[in-house]
Amino acid sequence: MQNSNQDLVVSRAPTVWGSLLVLTGFVLIGMAVGNILAVVILALFFSSDQVGVTVLLNQLITTPAKVHNGWYALMVLQGTVHFFSYLLPSVLFWIYIDKKPIREVNTRQHPSPVIWLLAFLLVLVFIPLNSKFIEWNAAMNLPDALSGLEIWMRQKEDQLSVMTAFLTNYKTFSQLLIALFVVTLLPAVGEEALFRGVIQTKLLKATNNPHVAIWASAAIFSAIHFQFYGFLPRMMLGALFGYLFYWTGNFWVAVLAHFVNNGFVLVMMYLHNLGMIDINIEETKSMPLLLITVSLFLSASILRYIRQLGMTEAGSGRRG
């Protein structure tokens, strides 16, 4: 019987890898379409006779503060590209390649309210622990033989840091709402759809190993952001979302966790910009060791409890 199961996994693998190759094509086409459409929108609403769209794009990437209404232009650019690069390819893949109703990405439709609450709390209590990974990753140094690569990585990181700092430098409530939609809701749904809903699910079918599927999709999730000095903490978050999806059997639990993580950062930045709090959550320094230790204990405890609840609910569903 064991050999029969192994043969089944092997026979599925080419189909799974082939479908992932198709997904890659969908994503690349989506990126191209998203960028073209974003350029058209920027040309229509943000460029002028004095500033062409090519110059505008270069300024948005390098010196966004010099662009008139640059904050809104960057939000349009990011939102458009993100929708076509992540969410739309995933939906098209589900419909035309998997040929299944989108709702079937969930193996369990209605997790208990306790699981939703625990997923919400988990993201918050994980923040101090993840601050240590942020500090470790930010201090990364490559060998001298790779100094050229390190210089390029630092330049890329500095460029993205300028854009991030500009995007989070808002003080009006309307800007906060726009940021919550573009920077929080769209990535929460789109990235979870692609990396957990499709890639993790397909890798699980190919490998029959949930841990390999979760960590591989988390690594891809982190790598595609091209923020090398934030790779480790983002991969840890991706794994966190992956285990939530796997143990609860519900895609929307992972979406909630992703939304809470991004949304908490944006709200904290908003309060910091208004001078209401002194904490700058974007700092790369880790939190006190005691807080990190408590965070580790609470995160592990909540994850264990979610796993137990998920297994219990799955068993109840099979019996029902």
pLDDT tens per residue, range 65-100: 788 888 998 999 999 999 999 999 999 999 999 888
Q: Which of 188, 198, 195, 8 is nearest to 96 (CA)?
A: 198
Looking at residue 8, its pLDDT comes to 46
The model's confidence at residue 2, banded by pLDDT at 50, 70 and 90, is very low
Outline where the chain has alpha helix (H).
2-45, 53-62, 70-82, 88-92, 113-138, 147-167, 173-179, 186-191, 201-207, 210-223, 231-248, 251-273, 289-319
Tens digit of each residue's pLDDT (9 = 90 or more) over 144-199: 787 788 787 888 777 777 788 888 888 999 999 999 999 999 999 999 999 999 99
Predicted local distance difference test score (pLDDT) of residue 14: 53
- Mapped onto helix, strand or coil, the DSSP state of residue 106 is coil
Write the pLDDT tens digit of every residue in 246-287. 999 999 999 999 999 999 999 999 999 998 988 877 776 778
User: Across all residues in the chain, what is the average pLDDT?
Assistant: 87
Pick the more confident residue, 152 or 315: 152
State the average pLDDT over residues 25-40: 93
pLDDT of residue 1: 47
Q: What is the CA radius of gyration of the chain?
A: 21
Does residue 9 carry a pLDDT above 90? no
Q: Which residues in 187-215 are b (16+ Cβ under 10 Å) and which e?
A: bbbbbbbbbbbbbbbbbbebebeeeebbb
What pLDDT score does 252 carry? 96
Please state the rounded mean pLDDT for residues 232-256.
96
Q: How many CB atoms lie within 10 A of CB 145?
A: 7
Top mean-pLDDT range of 10-14, 49-53, 202-206: 202-206
pLDDT at 142: 78
Region 104-116: what's the mean pLDDT?
88
Q: Would you say residue 320 has pLDDT above 50?
A: no
- pLDDT band of 319, cuts 50, 70, 90: very low
Is the model's pLDDT at 49 over the cut of 80? no
Q: Which pLDDT score is estimated for 265?
A: 92
Q: Which contacts qualify for 272-275: CB closer than 8 Å, 24 or more apart?
A: 273/168, 273/169, 273/170, 273/171, 274/171
Per-residue pLDDT, averaged over 224-251, amounts to: 93
Whole-number pLDDT of residue 37: 93
Cβ atoms < 10 Å from Cβ of 239: 19
Residue range 225-241: mean pLDDT, rounded: 91
Answer for the pair 171, 178: CB distance below 8 angstroms, yes or no.
no
pTM of the model: 0.88
pLDDT level of residue 312 (50, 70, 90 thresholds): confident
Alpha-carbon span 18 to 241, nearest angstrom: 25
pLDDT over threshold 90, residue 122: yes
Structure tokens at 202: 């397909």
Which range has the worst mean pLDDT, 5-19, 35-49, 296-310?
5-19
